[in-house]
Amino acid sequence: MQLLMMAAGSAPAAGGFDVDQATQAYMAMVQGAARARSDAYFEGGYWLLLWNALLSVLINWALLHFGWSARWSAWARRVGKGPTRRVMLYVIPYLLVTTLILLPWSLYTGYFREHQYGLSNLSMAGWFGEEGKDLLVNLVVGPLIIAGIFAVIRRAPRSWWVWGALVMTSFTALGALVFPVLIAPLFNQYTPMQPGPLRDQILAMAHAQHIPADNIYVSDASRQSDRISANVSGLGPTVRITLNDNLLKRVSPPGVKAVMGHEMGHYMLNHVVSLIGEFALVWLLVFFLLWWLSPRLLKRHAGRWKVSDPADPAALPLYVALGSAIMLLLTPVTNSITRVHEIEADAFGLDAAREPDGFAGVSMMLGEYRKLQPGRLEEIIFFDHPSGYNRVRRSMEWKAQHLNELPPEQRGIMRPAPLPAKF
């Protein structure tokens, strides 16, 4: 059933629409134990960022320190013909072993912790199935990416940081193109949305924005969790409008339209292209630091690690360890890049769907797994999306500015029904 419904009590506030009062009415949807649980889950993620980086550094250091990486490189040199094949062969044991070592941690973060907070619908067998598919994709894609990076390290030792960033950016763009049609269907089934008024309204919104899509696909994401999601993904001929079945089951039609307006905003504002461009600058910085730091560390530890050449695939654990540490430090930067794009899509979606209360209600539902009202610095550092509080407030500010354009029954302060006990 559609659980996000508005209770009675939507008469206009005396003296005009009160943004603060309307915002607090939504924030009151989640209080007490539900708010504490949501905050605890999200704040725990701050520590997961640190522990993930530390584990990556520790495991990759061990691969170098105990000579495993050098032995894999020697094996690949004996078996493979040509430097590219050798790199691709090396990546196979690297991925298999690191995945196996990290399995207990992955089980905790991806299965037990998610079930602890009621955020996963997967059985353990289902979880292992998902992880197995992910590993298979990595075993296909990973060797190609790593081989491309080591190719530029060999051919341009003085400037490989520039070309390495270009390789990563190129694969990112390729991923955006092929993911909707080749990768996503490996994890979920996509079926056309059933005909009906809501489908017609979403398509009408898309056509008004000149989005080249004549169908809407629904994914069976409820197999994995109850999280709501949607996207307008792909580039060029692979563009498709997708929403998950949770969105249709749990959210009212105004909320669904608000979400789809947001997702259309990403497409119309060319966010895929701008994100690729901005993250290209991030990759440029990361690869520069790898280029500058790795020769010094290889020279210092060559005797122990049995690796001295930056172009030797045995140096991969060093690059991964350094990259993990660098990306951890860049967390505020990468999160802010994404968050700014989300804010822009929010504004676009409010104009396109004209459903401020629908979007505010959905923003509160996302509080199932996102802290709703963080501190300002906390949001800058740890949030890749705007907080629930800021999204609701901006929705109410939009409503106040467009009050006379809305139907009379939508002009007052809505009194949202509390979220269900499952929250």
* Stretch 354-361: mean pLDDT: 95
Domain assignment of residue 303, yes or no: yes
pLDDT given for residue 239 in this prediction: 77
**Which helix H or strand E contains 241, and what residues bound it?**
strand 240-244
Task: Quote the CA–CA distance of 329 and 50 in Å, as a whole number.
Answer: 10
* Stretch 141-165: mean pLDDT: 96
Spatial contact of 229 and 247, defined as CB atoms under 8 Å apart: yes
Please tell me whether residue 217 adopts helix, strand or coil conformation: strand
Domain assignment of residue 298, yes or no: yes
Query: What's the full length of the chain, in residues?
Result: 423
Whether 190 shows a pLDDT value over 50: the answer reads yes
Task: Quote the CA–CA distance of 179 and 170 in Å, as a whole number.
Answer: 14
pLDDT given for residue 177 in this prediction: 83
Instruction: Please state, in angstroms and as integers, the Cα–Cα distance from residue 132 to each residue in 125, 222, 286, following that order.
Output: 10, 19, 29
DSSP state of 330: T
Instruction: Please state, in angstroms and as integers, the Cα–Cα distance from residue 215 to each residue in 195, 202, 233, following that order.
Output: 10, 10, 13
Domain assignment of residue 336, yes or no: no
Whether 332 shows a pLDDT value over 90: the answer reads yes
Q: b/e per residue, 337-366, with b = 16+ CB within 10 A?
A: bbbebbebbbebbbebbbbbbbbbbbbbbb
Task: Quote the CA–CA distance of 50 and 98 in Å, as a whole number.
Answer: 18
pLDDT given for residue 13 in this prediction: 44
Task: Quote the CA–CA distance of 271 and 330 in Å, as a whole number.
Answer: 20
Q: Tokens standing for 179?
A: 């993911």
- For tokens 């498709």, the residue is 240
pLDDT given for residue 235 in this prediction: 66
- For tokens 């009151």, the residue is 28
pLDDT given for residue 229 in this prediction: 93
Spatial contact of 277 and 31, defined as CB atoms under 8 Å apart: no
Spatial contact of 349 and 380, defined as CB atoms under 8 Å apart: no
Q: Tokens standing for 421?
A: 């006990």
Q: Tokens standing for 390?
A: 């800021």
pLDDT given for residue 276 in this prediction: 95
* Stretch 120-128: mean pLDDT: 97
Which are the contacts of 260, defined by CB distance < 8 A and separation ≥ 6? 202, 205, 206, 230, 241, 243, 349, 353
Query: Which tens digits make up the pLDDT trace of 283-296?
Result: 999 999 999 999 99
pLDDT-based confidence at 5, cuts 50/70/90? very low
pLDDT given for residue 422 in this prediction: 54
Task: Quote the CA–CA distance of 117 and 180 in Å, as a whole number.
Answer: 29
Domain assignment of residue 151, yes or no: yes
Domain assignment of residue 382, yes or no: no
pLDDT-based confidence at 261, cuts 50/70/90? very high
Q: Tokens standing for 33?
A: 């134990």
pLDDT given for residue 16 in this prediction: 76
Query: Which tens digits make up the pLDDT trace of 30-77?
Result: 989 999 999 999 999 999 999 999 999 999 999 999 999 999 999 999
Domain assignment of residue 1, yes or no: no
Lowest mean pLDDT among 82-91, 133-142, 408-417: 408-417
pLDDT-based confidence at 85, cuts 50/70/90? very high
Spatial contact of 249 and 2, defined as CB atoms under 8 Å apart: yes
Instruction: Please state, in angstroms and as integers, the Cα–Cα distance from residue 170 to each residue in 57, 140, 167, 173, 176, following that order.
Output: 26, 17, 5, 5, 10
Task: Quote the CA–CA distance of 73 and 40 in Å, as a whole number.
Answer: 43
pLDDT-based confidence at 316, cuts 50/70/90? very high
- CB-CB neighbours of 331 under 10 Å: 16
Environment class of 210 (CB within 10 Å of its CB; exposed 0-12, middle 13-18, buried 19+):
exposed
**Nearest to residue 419, comparing CAs of 201, 259, 228?**
228
Instruction: Give the residue ranges of DSSP H helices in 108-244.
Output: 113-116, 124-155, 160-178, 197-208
Q: What percent of the chain has pLDDT over 90?
A: 83
Whether 278 shows a pLDDT value over 80: the answer reads yes
pLDDT given for residue 179 in this prediction: 85
Q: How many domains are contained in the chain?
A: 1
Could you tell me the residue range of the domain that residue 51 belongs to?
39-186+272-331
Domain assignment of residue 27, yes or no: no
Whether 4 shows a pLDDT value over 60: the answer reads no
Whether 10 shows a pLDDT value over 50: the answer reads no
Instruction: Please state, in angstroms and as integers, the Cα–Cα distance from residue 39 to each residue in 43, 95, 375, 416, following that order.
Output: 6, 34, 12, 21
**Nearest to residue 54, comparing CAs of 328, 285, 300, 290?**
328
pLDDT-based confidence at 182, cuts 50/70/90? confident
pLDDT given for residue 420 in this prediction: 60
pLDDT-based confidence at 236, cuts 50/70/90? low
Domain assignment of residue 64, yes or no: yes
* Stretch 260-272: mean pLDDT: 94
DSSP state of 230: E
Average pLDDT, the chain: 92
pLDDT-based confidence at 418, cuts 50/70/90? low
